[in-house]
A = this chain, B = another copy of it.
Amino acid sequence: MSDDNDKPRAKRSSGSARLTDVARVAGVAPMTVSRALNRPELVTDSTRRKVQQAVLETGYVPNRVAGALATSRSGLVALLVPTVAHALFAEVVQAVMGELAPRGYQVMLGLVGYTPAQEEVVIETVLSRRPDAIVLTGCRHSPLTRERLQRAQVPLVEIWDMSDDPLDMLIGFSHHAVGLAVAAHLLERGCRRFGIITADDARAARRVEGFLEGIDKVAGSACLVREVGTPSSMPWGREKGAELLDTGSIDAIVCSSDILALGVIAEAQSRGLAIPDELAIMGFGDSSYAGASHPALSTVRIDGASIGRAAATHLLRRLDQSVFSRSGEVLDVGFTLIDRDTT
C-alpha cells in the first residue's frame, strides 16, 4: 500500500500522476488505461470502472502534450486575428471557439496585428506547436509566410477578405466591394466632396481604393484621406474629422470603423452641423452601439459570428477526414450597408 517504491526514479520532473500510476492502482496495463479513457467502447465495463476509480484516487489528469507527440494530433486550432480589442474580431473569436470547444479542440490565439512582418513571426511560432488547423485573418501574406503555410500541410481557412488565389479555403468578403458600395450610396445621397478617416491597415486601404474607384468618374467629386494611429478611438475620429471639416469643403466623411465615426459625429455636433444634410457620415462594422448614437450611425455590417462559425465547421469537417488535401473553396459572405440617420 505504500506509495514509495524501491527504485528511486529521480528523473521524474512533473510531480503529477501518469498513466502508469493509474495502471498500477487499477491493476491493469497502461495501455488498457489509455483505452479506457480514450476509446471506452473497447474495454469491458468492469475494467472501465476500475480505471475510473483509479483516476479519482490518483487525481490523474492526462498529459495531452505527450498524447499529441504520440499521435501527432495536437488538438489545438490556431486562431489568428489582428486584435481582439476590436468587437468585430472578438465576435469571430467567440464564434470559432463556440464551435470548436464542444468537439474537444482548444484554441491557441495569436494576434497578428496589421502588418505582414508581425504575421510572419506569429505564424512561425504557431506552426511550431503543430496545430491541427489554422484560422487566419486576411489573405495577403509575405512570400515566406505563404511558403511556410503551404509546407505545413495543415487545414487552413483564411477569413475576412477575398482573393482568387487562397492558400486553402477562404471565407470572407471583398473590401474593395465595400468601398464601391459606400461610394455608390453616398453619391446617390448627393454627396460629392468626401473625406476619409482610416486606420493604417491594408484591408481598410482596399476599402478606400474601392471607394475612390467608385467616385472616380463622377463630375465634381473629390476626396481627402486622413490616417489615424492605433487603436482607432473617438478622439482620433474627432481630431481628424475637425481637420477635414476645417478645409471647408467636405460634405461626407467615411470612417474605417464605427468608433471613429462616433468621434466625427461629436465634432460635427459641436460645430452645429446638420447631419446628414450638411455632413453625411459612414462607419464600418455595425458595432452594438452604432444604432444607439444620435443620430443613429449609418454603417456597413459584417457578420463576424457567421464567418467564424463557417470557418470552424468547415475545419471540423476536414479534421474528420484522415487525409489532408487542400480545399480551394472560396465563400463570399458579403456585407450589408445599413442606412440609418447619418447618411
Contacts and interface: CB of A to CB of B under 8 A. Distances in A.
Interface of A: 13-16, 59, 61-66, 68-69, 72, 74, 76, 79, 83-85, 87, 90-91, 93-94, 97-98, 101, 104, 106-111, 122, 124-130, 147-148, 151-153, 233-234, 259, 262-263, 265-266, 287-289, 291-294
Contacts of A289: 234, 259, 262, 287, 289, 292-293
Contacts of A130: 14, 63-65
Contact of A65 (B69, B147, B151, B294): B69
Greatest chain B CB density within 10 A among A16, A64, A91 is at: A64
Contact of A94 (B16, B84, B104, B124): B84
A97 B125 contact: no
Contacts of A292: 234, 262-263, 265-266, 289, 293
A115 B283 CA distance: 36
B109 A15 contact: no
A64 B14 contact: no
Nearest to A148: B61
Given A107-B109, A234-B288, A293-B293, A152 B16 contact: yes
A273 B14 CA distance: 64
25 contacts: A16-B152, A59-B147, A59-B148, A61-B127, A61-B128, A61-B148, A61-B152, A63-B130, A64-B129, A65-B65, A66-B69, A83-B94, A84-B90, A85-B90, A93-B109, A97-B109, A106-B108, A106-B125, A106-B126, A107-B109, A234-B292, A259-B288, A259-B289, A289-B292, A293-B294
A154 to B, nearest CB: 10
| 6 A-B pairs with least C-beta separation | A289-B289, A109-B109, A64-B128, A13-B72, A85-B94, A84-B90
A200 to B, nearest CB: 18
A49 B125 CA distance: 21
A64 B131 CA distance: 11
Contacts of A287: 289
A306 to B, nearest CB: 14
A97 B111 CA distance: 8
A104 B125 contact: yes
Nearest to A111: B97
A14 B72 contact: yes
